[in-house]
Amino acid sequence: MNRRAMGLLRILRKGAWLAPLCAALAACHGGDAGDAPLSPAALAAVVAQPGVSRIALARAVDALFTTPGLGETRALLVYYRGRLVAERYAAPYDRRTRMQGWSMSKCVTAILIGLMVADGRLRLDQPAPVPLWQRPGDPRGAITLRELLQMRSGLRHRETADTVTDADTVRMLFLDGRDDMAAYAEAQPLTTTPGSAWRYSTASTIVLADIAARALTPSTDPATRQRELSDFLRTRLFDPVGLKSAVAEYDAAGTMIGGSMIEANPRDWGRIGELLRSQGAVRGAQVLPRGWVQFMTEPAPGNPGFGAQLWRNLPQPDGHAVLFPARGPADLFACVGHLGQYILVAPAGQLTLVRLGHSDEAERAALVDKLADIVALFPEH
């Protein structure tokens, strides 16, 4: 027997061939006999060392794009310990595509208000500076900024309705309120005492956006209001965080449509999640006060499953779940938008997940369950 043959025999006897063979088979078949093979694109979406099983993560990400009944996933990003470890897109979308945040925009508006509170321009527990409410005897004058942020204003509002055009959200954004959305929202009467009841309301976020513009300029000129708020957002938030693609839309009165109309590419939505995960810090610089992020993620009175313009991983008052409280980390919170937009943040697990796409209400529970599968792969610490 020659020297090469003897060396091969020793390798076979020691079983040194087994590990690489198993790794190769796992890459093709996912490690489980019953799993379908992963496509090259699915595996390529995950970095070589993501901090958990690369195969398991690639398979969990792939499920968001291939499982029937989830709607259309257009972008999926996973950040772990501050590093982008998985990123996948459905054609024709890519990392440069601006995507509508819908109600994820509310988190951006909450951050904006936090910057103004930090500057002393606004005060959290004083009456909200809405001129219409400051008339003598108007009970709406008692509404505070905190109550608007936590959706406890007491103002009349129907977020949805069986007849779509009966919903205040639709009327405000697209029908009789569209030219001056803040005027529509601020004209609503009280149905409960301010602070006494929780009710989800896009109108409350529009009021917050109007308050932000008023804090920057006394002008009622739409172009001036838009310019002042856009400049503030750019210099205090977008530029420091690196949100180069982020764009906010404004109505005809110059009010930012902060409850639903902010667009950004997937990585910039991820940067917003990472800003919140890192308690307002970016590369060691404190862009947003830590205390403000803590406030945003504290339970709102009347709904422990909500904070200040974001959702917490706890059941809602009526028992249903927006996220996955039975499975996910207790500290997980999320910015959630219409049609299945999600930024999930698990601070203790150092995890941020972004999903952008189009999923109808009937598809949402199955979609959220698949998102929970990804979160479950990472240790909660």
The dihedral built from the CA positions of residue 19, 20, 25 and 30, taken in this order, carries a sign that is positive
Residue (of 75, 81, 65, 132) closest to 99 by Cα position: 75
In angstroms, rounded to a whole number, what is the distance separating the alpha carbons of residues 288 and 276? Answer: 9
In the block, tokens 């569209």 appear at 178
Question: What's the maximum distance between 2 C-alpha atoms anywhere in the chain?
Answer: 105
The tens digit of pLDDT for each residue in 61-115 reads: 999 999 999 999 999 999 999 999 999 999 999 999 999 999 999 999 999 999 9
In angstroms, rounded to a whole number, what is the distance separating the alpha carbons of residues 259 and 170? Answer: 12
Residue (of 331, 216, 309, 190) closest to 260 by Cα position: 309
In angstroms, rounded to a whole number, what is the distance separating the alpha carbons of residues 190 and 148? Answer: 13
First to last CA, the chain: 55
- Please check whether residue 72 is in contact with residue 359, taking contact to mean a CB–CB distance below 8 angstroms: yes
Domain ranges of the chain: 1-36, 102-261
CATH superfamily of this structure's domain 102-261? DD-peptidase/beta-lactamase superfamily (3.40.710.10)
pLDDT the model gives residue 34: 54
> What is the pLDDT tens value at each position of the chain, 381 positions in all?
444 444 434 533 444 443 333 333 344 444 444 577 899 999 999 999 999 999 999 999 999 999 999 999 999 999 999 999 999 999 999 999 999 999 999 999 999 999 999 999 999 999 999 999 999 999 999 999 999 999 999 999 999 999 999 999 999 999 999 999 999 999 999 999 999 999 999 999 999 999 999 999 999 999 999 999 999 999 999 999 999 999 999 999 999 999 999 999 999 999 999 999 999 999 999 999 999 999 999 999 999 999 999 999 999 999 999 999 999 899 999 999 999 999 999 999 999 999 999 999 999 999 999 999 999 999 987
In angstroms, rounded to a whole number, what is the distance separating the alpha carbons of residues 139 and 123? Answer: 19
The tens digit of pLDDT for each residue in 125-182 reads: 999 999 999 999 999 999 999 999 999 999 999 999 999 999 999 999 999 999 999 9
